[in-house]
């Protein structure tokens, strides 16, 4: 069910207030795009995946079991899974901001904090009024 225009405006106000009050938090919870892995990462992932596959198949041929679990095959699966996760999480930690850029963001965050407080206070008042109105209607 789509939001009404009023609800969409309220959501936009909340979002802009959040950006103004705590840009560091917003940047930490925004979705990270999955980056394309570089050549070295691709090589490590491919070798890890092949090693895991060899362990998986080799574990089926060798009778090493603990409690009915083919240990080598399980380790091979874990290696393959780890390689796949390593390949998918390639672009997350590589992009970092410079010290000067983060310092200017902090200054902007503090400067806009005063206006952000008034927005959050207004939104809180509207929220409280809405519940007071609903209680009166009952």
pTM over 0.75: no
Tens-place pLDDT, residues 34-80: 555 688 888 889 999 999 999 999 988 888 788 778 888 999 999 99
Look up residue 23 and give its two tokens. Answer: 């840009």
C-alpha R_g of the chain: 26
pLDDT at 35: 56
14-23, 71-80, 129-138 — which one is most confidently predicted on average?
71-80
pLDDT band at 138 (very low <50, low <70, confident <90, very high): low
pLDDT at 108: 44
Q: Where do the DSSP E strands lie in the chain?
A: 65-66, 69-70
Angle at 97 between CA 94 and CA 100, to 5 degrees: 155
Maximum distance among all Cα pairs of the chain, rounded to whole angstroms: 75
**Can you say whether the dihedral through the CA atoms of 120, 126, 129, 134 is positive or negative?**
negative
Tens-place pLDDT, residues 70-128: 888 999 999 999 999 988 886 544 444 434 444 444 444 444 444 556 777 887 888 88
pLDDT at 113: 47
Task: Enumerate the β-bridge partners of residue 66.
Answer: 69
pLDDT at 91: 54
Look up residue 122 and give its two tokens. Answer: 């207004």
Query: Which is higher by pLDDT, 9 or 3?
Result: 9
Residue 92 sits at φ, ψ, to 5 deg, of -70, -55
Report the interhelical angle of 113-137 vs 5-21 (nearest 10°). Answer: 140
pLDDT at 87: 86
d(CA 136, CA 138): 5
């Amino acid at each position: 069910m789509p939001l009404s225009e009023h609800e969409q405006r309220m959501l936009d106000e909340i979002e802009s207030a959040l950006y103004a009050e705590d840009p560091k938090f917003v940047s930490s919870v925004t979705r990270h795009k999955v980056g394309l892995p570089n050549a070295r990462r691709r090589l490590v992932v491919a070798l890890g995946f092949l090693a895991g596959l060899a362990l998986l198949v080799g574990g089926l041929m060798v009778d090493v079991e603990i409690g009915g679990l083919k240990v080598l095959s399980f380790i091979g699966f874990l290696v393959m899974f780890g390689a796949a996760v390593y390949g998918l999480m390639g672009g997350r930690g590589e992009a970092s901001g410079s010290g000067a850029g983060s310092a200017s963001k902090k200054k902007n965050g503090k400067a806009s904090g005063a206006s952000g407080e008034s927005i959050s206070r207004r939104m809180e008042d509207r929220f409280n009024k809405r519940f007071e109105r609903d209680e009166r209607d009952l």
